[in-house]
């Protein structure tokens, strides 16, 4: 069981770090720290968990519906319904005085508890858990492989759903139905439909597909808690020469980034390799934050895991990390365009997990 | 993560309605001696900001500042490119993209000498980084928990919210009718979700108890599970920021029809001022062979879409108020077999 392996690794790391207890926070947006410690994939409300150095885990939830789910999903974890979550955990922490307590992610720990950090001997251990989240065990990489495979299938479903006249949210509805039937718990997905007026992806807003539109999506299914991403672009009808040329640029940039990935490089090296391709072709402006967010990121228990691939991120890339390399950005001739493949880092390079061809796809208009 | 239809429609949610709601909060602020109000939002705690602005974040988080007068300010770490999308779905706020929303709003508040006391919805639960940035930027301001005044303005729903909730419920009812074609729980969850999303749901969480006789707890299904004769499905669904919950029990040969009918009657008959516990106790006798195992009332009173305000374990003040909205969940044992259901309730005389 991945969950058992994770917890054993966490307890061992806590011992090495001299921590008696770890306090973790989670919700359906930022759930990775909680999932690592408890294996619970929270949907509603908020949760705090206390992980003790002897392996005992108490999971506090403010939703009774989530308590039912946690009891079913998390054997071996003490599940506690706390209608006033913050007050209940605050009280529980009172009983742990004289212990060394770590907290993660510190920035989301509720104010009432954070204000008592000194009194409770509570220290920020976000980076400590981040290291565990980034460096994957073999069982975690196996889960990500499964998620990548279902992402490939999900993109085919998405593509088959795309046709003129359909609304953007209908395309996502079709892929969601496929995902639920295939055991996918969750999915992060945004979409862009149109041409040069589209400057990024967002949730669907009811826009209907028409001939000539670029349809971009970032599809991120979650299998056994692990998110894997694929980024692809399709055209409604035959692509124009400008669209084809733009796609070639993005493919070259992505492949340049992937070529750099290996144990020991920095996140910045990968981003720089992608961006250099844009700069060489006079489009360096479109690698800045005005037009794009990141050039890729980690994949794991969070849809947008660390490390972020940016030219100012010096995080070392280690063998066993899983990444999406995506030079997604705005192109002045065709609009926002995306392309991204998932990889697992090896000692001397990386293994590309994504199987979907790196094509600019076309659907009948 | 939100990935259904997210769109502001001025006919469904006119700016005038939002302005009336904002005025309601300002009146409550005045009553509580507050010079400004701050509300936190993310996709798990979206409802207070959605109530005032129409906006729900699909990702990340943000803070809404409601000053005593003037335009609202929404500050978020979402990037500038996303700010355009936020503006398209949030017609009443200035939108600012900043890596430190707490610091930015704290500085704004500190720059106004008239601001001494600021209310924060659910103060204790405010994420520490945002709270620390606010306090650091405005050290002279007193931060007051504003949950009670905010809950006060959420006791009654307005006509626009009533119509959105009614539409959300219609989507949930239709989605739960998708059950007949499969015996696999995962496939059924997919069908329910597909139907709701194709019909324009912003979000839906589908949970099942695949064998209700063995275990009444509902969960999302992420592996092939065969549905037993008696099972239950819950759809928690949002349409344009308005959330409802519906749960249905399914069994062969009309075995649950009588309970379904009884529950529909209970929901229709809920009266202003009559505690739910009394109402259920009074009505259970009209369903032969039934015992009441438990109940729960959820309302939207703060940032959560639905939060438990009373239950059989903790009845509290469960008397429905006129013009209010709630979701009632009930668990029965009927001739030895379990039945569960939940449905939205508009209390009193609907004005929409």
Question: Half-sphere exposure of A303 toward its Cβ, with a 13 Å CA cutoff?
Answer: 24
Minimum Cα–Cα distance from B186: chain A residue: A181
| pLDDT reading at B52 higher than 90 | yes
* Stretch 53-112 of chain B: residues touching chain A, C-beta under 8 Å: 58-61, 79-82, 84-85, 88-89
* pLDDT, tens only, A73-87: 999 999 999 999 999
| pLDDT reading at B181 higher than 80 | no
Nearest residue, CB atoms, A173 vs list B88, B129, B198: B198
Nearest residue, CB atoms, B128 vs list A43, A106, A184: A106
C-alpha–C-alpha distance, residues B160 and B74, integer Å: 22
Minimum Cα–Cα distance from B123: chain A residue: A111
Helix (H) or strand (E) holding B309: strand B307-311
pLDDT of residue B224: 84
Instruction: Give me the number of domains chain A comprises.
Output: 2
Task: State the smallest CA–CA distance between residue A184 and chain B in angstroms.
Answer: 6
Report residue B180's pLDDT band, with 50, 70 and 90 as the boundaries: low
* pLDDT, tens only, B151-168: 999 999 999 999 999 999
* A331 shares a domain with A202: yes
B304 contacts on A by Cβ (under 8 Å): 44-45
pLDDT of residue A97: 85
pLDDT of residue B314: 85
pLDDT of residue B13: 98
- List beta partners, residue A123: A102
pLDDT of residue B199: 98
* Stretch 284-343 of chain B: residues touching chain A, C-beta under 8 Å: 296, 304-305, 307-308, 311, 314
Task: State the smallest CA–CA distance between residue B129 and chain A in angstroms.
Answer: 5
- List beta partners, residue A227: A222
Q: What is the CA radius of gyration of chain B?
A: 22
Q: What is the 3-state secondary structure (H, E, C) of A1-13?
A: CHHHHHHHHHHHH
C-alpha–C-alpha distance, residues B150 and B131, integer Å: 19
Closest CA to B126 of A86, A83, A105, A48: A86
* pLDDT, tens only, B1-47: 899 999 999 999 999 999 999 999 999 999 999 999 999 999 999 99
Report which DSSP code applies to A240. Answer: P
Span A20-33, average pLDDT: 97
Which of A114, A134, A154 is the endpoint of a domain? A134
CATH number of the domain to which A93 belongs: 3.40.350.10
Task: State the smallest CA–CA distance between residue A263 and chain B in angstroms.
Answer: 30
C-beta of residue B244 within 8 angstroms of C-beta of residue B187:
no
* pLDDT, tens only, A78-123: 999 999 999 999 999 999 988 999 999 999 999 999 999 999 999 9
C-alpha–C-alpha distance, residues A177 and A157, integer Å: 10
B295 contacts on A by Cβ (under 8 Å): none
Which of A79, A110, A134 is the endpoint of a domain? A134
Look at A72 and B197 and tell me if their CB atoms are within 8 Å: no
* Furthest C-alpha separation in chain A: 68
CATH number of the domain to which A159 belongs: 3.90.230.10
Nearby residues of A234 by Cβ (< 8 Å), 6 or more positions away: A159, A162, A214, A215, A360, A361, A362, A363
* A328 shares a domain with A227: yes
- Residue A18, exposed/middle/buried by CB under 10 A (0-12, 13-18, 19+)? exposed
| pLDDT reading at B313 higher than 70 | yes
> Touching check for B127 and chain A: CB below 8 Å?
yes
* A149 shares a domain with A66: no
Backbone angles phi, psi at A316, to 5 degrees: -75, 135
> Touching check for B194 and chain A: CB below 8 Å?
yes
Look at B1 and A303 and tell me if their CB atoms are within 8 Å: yes
* pLDDT, tens only, A296-342: 999 999 999 999 999 999 999 999 999 999 999 999 999 999 999 99
B220 contacts on A by Cβ (under 8 Å): 43, 69, 185
What angle is formed at CA B277 by the lines to CA A84 and CA B303, rounded to 5 degrees? Answer: 35
Look at B190 and A181 and tell me if their CB atoms are within 8 Å: yes
B127 contacts on A by Cβ (under 8 Å): 107-111
- How many C-beta atoms surround the C-beta of residue A131 within 10 A? 11
Look at A29 and B61 and tell me if their CB atoms are within 8 Å: yes
* A284 shares a domain with A144: yes
Which of A109, A134, A159 is the endpoint of a domain? A134
Task: State the smallest CA–CA distance between residue B17 and chain A in angstroms.
Answer: 21
A86 contacts on B by Cβ (under 8 Å): 124-125
Span A138-152, average pLDDT: 98
Task: State the smallest CA–CA distance between residue A260 and chain B in angstroms.
Answer: 27
pLDDT of residue B99: 93
In chain B, what percentage of residues exceed pLDDT 90? 90
DSSP A217-266: EEEEEEETTEE--EEEEEEESSPPHHHHHHHHHHHHHHHHHHHH--TT-B
Task: State the smallest CA–CA distance between residue A179 and chain B in angstroms.
Answer: 7
Look at B217 and A180 and tell me if their CB atoms are within 8 Å: no
Peptide bond just before A293 cis, omega within 30 deg: no
* A142 shares a domain with A130: no
DSSP B94-134: EEEE-S-HHHHHHHHHHT-TT--EEEETTGGGSBHHHHHHH
SS3 content of chain B, % helix, strand, coil (to 5): 35, 25, 35
* A349 shares a domain with A212: yes
pLDDT of residue B179: 66
B4 contacts on A by Cβ (under 8 Å): 169, 172-173, 203-204
Look at A181 and B4 and tell me if their CB atoms are within 8 Å: no
Look at A200 and B82 and tell me if their CB atoms are within 8 Å: yes
- List beta partners, residue B325: B346
Expressed as residue numbers, the domain containing A352 is: 138-363
* A103 shares a domain with A165: no
* pLDDT, tens only, B87-145: 999 999 999 999 999 999 999 999 999 999 999 999 999 999 999 999 999 999 999 99
* A63 shares a domain with A6: yes
pLDDT of residue B207: 97
Minimum Cα–Cα distance from B205: chain A residue: A43
Q: Which of B124, B146, B203 to mutate to test the interface with A (most CBs of A within 10 A)?
A: B124
Q: How far is CA B71 from the centre of its chain?
A: 26
Span B277-281, average pLDDT: 94
A112 contacts on B by Cβ (under 8 Å): 123-125
Task: State the smallest CA–CA distance between residue A307 and chain B in angstroms.
Answer: 17
* pLDDT, tens only, A280-301: 999 999 999 999 999 999 999 9
B198 contacts on A by Cβ (under 8 Å): 169-170, 173-174
In chain A, what percentage of residues exceed pLDDT 70? 100
| pLDDT reading at B287 higher than 80 | yes
Span A53-72, average pLDDT: 97
User: Which 3 state secondary structure label does DSSP give B250?
Assistant: strand
Domains and their CATH numbers in chain B:
15-153 (3.40.350.10), 159-346 (3.90.230.10)
C-alpha–C-alpha distance, residues A50 and A10, integer Å: 12
Residue with tokens 């119509």: B163
A199 contacts on B by Cβ (under 8 Å): 81, 84
* A264 shares a domain with A159: yes
Nearest residue, CB atoms, A189 vs list B3, B187, B191: B3
In chain A, what percentage of residues exceed pLDDT 90? 97
* A95 shares a domain with A236: no
B88 contacts on A by Cβ (under 8 Å): 205
pLDDT of residue A55: 96
pLDDT of residue B315: 77
Nearby residues of B336 by Cβ (< 8 Å), 6 or more positions away: none
Q: Which of A62, A180, A193 to mutate to test the interface with B (most CBs of B within 10 A)?
A: A180
Mean confidence (pLDDT) of chain B:
95
> Touching check for B281 and chain A: CB below 8 Å?
no
* A126 shares a domain with A182: no
* A126 shares a domain with A207: no
| pLDDT reading at A71 higher than 90 | yes
pLDDT of residue B352: 76
The token duo for A132 is 């565990």
| C-alpha distance from residue B128 to each of A88, A105, A111, A217 (Å) | 17, 10, 4, 33
Look at B296 and A185 and tell me if their CB atoms are within 8 Å: no
Question: Half-sphere exposure of B262 toward its Cβ, with a 13 Å CA cutoff?
Answer: 26
Look at B44 and A189 and tell me if their CB atoms are within 8 Å: no
Helix axes B185-198, B159-176, angle to 10 degrees: 140
> Touching check for B200 and chain A: CB below 8 Å?
yes
Q: Which of A106, A202, A227, A301 to mutate to test the interface with B (most CBs of B within 10 A)?
A: A202
């Amino acid at each position: 069981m991945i969950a058992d392996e994770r917890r054993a690794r966490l307890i061992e790391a806590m011992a090495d770090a001299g921590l008696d207890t770890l306090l973790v926070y989670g919700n359906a947006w930022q759930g990775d720290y909680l999932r690592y410690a408890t294996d619970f994939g929270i949907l509603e409300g908020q949760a705090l968990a206390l992980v003790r150095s002897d392996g005992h885990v108490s999971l506090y939830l403010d939703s009774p519906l989530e308590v039912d789910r946690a009891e079913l999903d998390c054997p071996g974890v003490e599940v506690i319904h706390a209608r006033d979550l913050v007050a209940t955990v605050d009280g529980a922490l009172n009983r742990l005085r004289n212990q060394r307590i770590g907290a993660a992610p510190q920035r989301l720990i509720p104010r009432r508890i954070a204000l008592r950090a000194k009194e409770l001997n509570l220290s920020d251990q976000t980076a400590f858990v981040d290291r565990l989240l980034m460096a994957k065990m073999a069982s975690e990489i196996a889960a990500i492989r499964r998620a990548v495979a279902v992402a490939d299938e999900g993109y085919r479903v998405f593509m088959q759903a795309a046709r003129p006249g359909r609304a953007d949210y209908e395309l996502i509805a079709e892929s969601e139905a496929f995902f639920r039937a295939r055991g996918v718990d969750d999915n992060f997905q945004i979409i862009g439909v149109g041409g040069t007026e589209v400057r990024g992806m967002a949730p669907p807003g009811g826009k209907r597909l028409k001939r000539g539109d670029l349809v971009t999506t970032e599809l991120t299914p979650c299998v056994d808690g692990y998110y894997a991403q694929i980024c692809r672009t399709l055209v409604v009808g035959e692509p124009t020469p400008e669209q084809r040329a733009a796609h070639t640029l993005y493919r070259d940039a992505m492949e340049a980034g992937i070529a750099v990935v290996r144990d020991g490089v920095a996140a910045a090296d990968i981003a720089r390799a992608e961006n250099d391709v844009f700069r060489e072709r006079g489009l360096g402006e479109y690698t800045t934050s005005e037009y794009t967010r990141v050039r890729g990121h980690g994949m794991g228990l969070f849809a947008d895991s660390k490390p972020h691939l940016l030219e100012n991120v010096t995080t070392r890339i280690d063998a066993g990390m899983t990444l999406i390399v995506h030079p997604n950005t705005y192109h002045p001739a065709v609009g926002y365009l995306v392309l991204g493949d998932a990889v697992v880092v090896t000692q001397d390079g990386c293994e590309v997990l994504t199987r979907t061809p790196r094509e600019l796809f076309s659907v009948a208009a | 993560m939100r990935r259904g239809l997210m769109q502001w429609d001025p006919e469904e949610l006119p700016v005038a309605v939002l302005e009336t709601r904002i005025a309601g909060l300002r009146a409550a602020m005045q009553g509580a001696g507050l010079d400004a109000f701050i509300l936190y939002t993310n996709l798990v705690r979206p409802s207070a900001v959605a109530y005032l602005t129409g906006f729900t974040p699909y990702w990340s988080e943000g803070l809404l500042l409601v000053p005593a007068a003037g335009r609202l300010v929404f500050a978020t770490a979402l990037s500038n490119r996303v700010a355009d999308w936020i503006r398209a779905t949030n017609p009443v706020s200035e939108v600012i993209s900043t890596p430190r929303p707490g610091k930015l709003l704290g500085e704004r508040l500190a720059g106004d000498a008239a601001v001494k006391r600021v209310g924060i919805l659910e103060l204790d639960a405010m994420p520490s980084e945002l709270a620390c940035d606010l306090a650091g930027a405005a050290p002279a301001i007193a931060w007051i928990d504003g949950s009670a005044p905010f809950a006060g303005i959420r006791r009654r729903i307005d006509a626009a919210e009533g119509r959105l909730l009614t539409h959300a419920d219609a989507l949930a009812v239709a989605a739960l009718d998708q059950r007949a074609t499969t015996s696999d729980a995962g496939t059924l969850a997919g069908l329910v979700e597909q139907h709701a999303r194709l019909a324009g749901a912003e979000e839906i969480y589908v949970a099942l108890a695949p064998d209700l006789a063995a275990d009444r707890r509902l969960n999302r299904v992420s592996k092939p599970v065969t549905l037993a004769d008696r099972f239950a499905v819950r759809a928690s669904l949002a349409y344009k920021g308005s959330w409802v919950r519906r749960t249905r029990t399914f069994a062969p040969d009309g075995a649950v029809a009588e309970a379904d009918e009884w529950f529909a009657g209970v929901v229709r008959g809920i009266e202003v001022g009559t505690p739910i516990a009394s109402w259920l106790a009074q009505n259970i006798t009209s369903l032969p062979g039934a015992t009441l195992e438990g109940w729960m009332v959820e309302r939207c009173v703060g940032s959560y879409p639905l939060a438990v305000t009373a239950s059989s374990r903790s009845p509290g003040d469960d008397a429905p108020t006129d013009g209010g909205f709630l979701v009632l969940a009930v668990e029965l044992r009927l001739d030895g077999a379990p039945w569960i259901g939940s449905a939205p309730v508009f209390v009193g005389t609907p004005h929409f």
